[in-house]
Structure formats: C-alpha cells, structure tokens
Amino acid sequence: MISKTEQLAIDQQRKFATPQQYLKVLRRRLPETFQVRNAGVELKGISEAELVLGVICQAFSDGDSLFFLGDSSLDMYCKLLDLDVDMIRKEFALHNKPYFFATHKG
C-alpha cells in the first residue's frame, strides 16, 4: 500500500531528480566561460564552478529548503556563476523528493 504523499506524486506525475541528474542540469546552464569538456566528452565546470555546484547539489541532496527557499547564500552563488536563481528555486520545489515529501506529509 502506498502513502497519500506517494499517490499525490503519482497523480501529479512528479519527476524527482537525483543529485547527479541535478548536477548535470546545472553544468549545462553554466555560461561557456565556466565550462570545460573532460576528454572532449563530459561537460564539467572549471574548478571554482565545480566547488560552488557541489555546495548547491549537496543542499539539493539534503532537501535543504532553507538554502533554496529562505534567505541564504544561494543568491550569491548563482550570481557568481551567472545562473538564474529563480529557476534554481523552482526546480528545487518541483524535483526534490525530500522537500516534496516533507511538505506533503500523509
């Protein structure tokens, strides 16, 4: 038997992202000045960008709603990497499983 929250996720056709998937999305959004290709295949960010993306992805993995939706350093990180902070917040709310389950208990 599934919980009401799981049923709600199914009904809304929610697609939850893993931290690894989320990292790939963030890397694709980096401006070219922050991108490098590893062996010509895998897209990565320059070292400093990877460090900041690691912080964002760890918060995503933790389901840290205060980091994404509260008053935090996310704005500064997004500004440093020229990422759209509003889109980052929206994606967190839509695709983060721990956050969804915490906000829709049942």
- Find residue 36's DSSP bridge partners: 44
pLDDT value at residue 15:
86
Q: Is 103 domain-assigned?
A: no
On whether residue 61 sits in a domain, the answer given is: yes
Residue 19 lies in a domain: yes
Predicted confidence (pLDDT) at residue 103 exceeds the cutoff of 90: no
pLDDT(101) > 90: no
Q: Residue 54 pLDDT > 90, yes or no?
A: yes
Return the half-sphere exposure (C-beta side, CA atoms, 13 A cut-off) of residue 50: 10
pLDDT at 6 over 90: no
Domain count for the chain: 1
Print burial letters for 21-49: b (CB count within 10 Å at least 16), e (below 16).
Answer: ebbeebbebbeeebeeeeeeeeebbeeeb
| pLDDT in the model for residue 2 | 79
**Residue 87 lies in domain:** 4-97
